[in-house]
Structure 1
Amino acid sequence: MTESGETTRVEHHTDRQRFEILVGDEVAGYAEYRPTAGERDFDHTVTLPQFRGRGLAAVLVREALDDTRSAGLRVVPSCSYVRHFVDTNPEYQDLVAGA
């Protein structure tokens, strides 16, 4: 749930190589990645304009990184938002490939 009490969920679509965050049944944003040997290179994160300012990108990226950790993979934060998120959340810095 976001601060406004909206119901949100994050879904992993491996066939599209992306995580999506939904508000109700509507896609509000996504984080795309390119899989490589033992890594997910997160290269693009989007929050649709009508959903910006609600903290959804942080929820999305946190869930995507948690899933990546659970899968035993490392992260390449090519996307500037994912890089910023990792830099400001030290609990995820160990996931960065080459760290």
Structure 2
Amino acid sequence: MMHFFKVTTRAELLWVIFGFFAQAMFMMRFLIQWIASERARQSVVPVAFWYFSLLGGLTLLAYAIHRRDPVFIFGQALGTVIYLRNLWLIHAAKSPAA
């Protein structure tokens, strides 16, 4: 298996497995959004979409930092800020003060 993933140590193999987990969390947001839209018969973005975006983005960011990939780091870091801001806005709108 290590040869297939082009890694030479067990630690690197665990990072690759972590990277696949991160990508799966990020991908789940699309599945959730698609299912919610199909049920509503219109395009909707459920709150879970933003939570999976944040979880997937943060885990992918950790993987990108480990791999020292500046392009990947920049993309995930910026996305994480946007996901946090959307969750902030959603929860602020639901608070009694709003």
The normalised TM-score by structure 2 is 0.36
Higher helix share: 2
- TM-score for both structures, normalised by structure 1: 0.35
The structure with the largest alpha-carbon Rg is 2
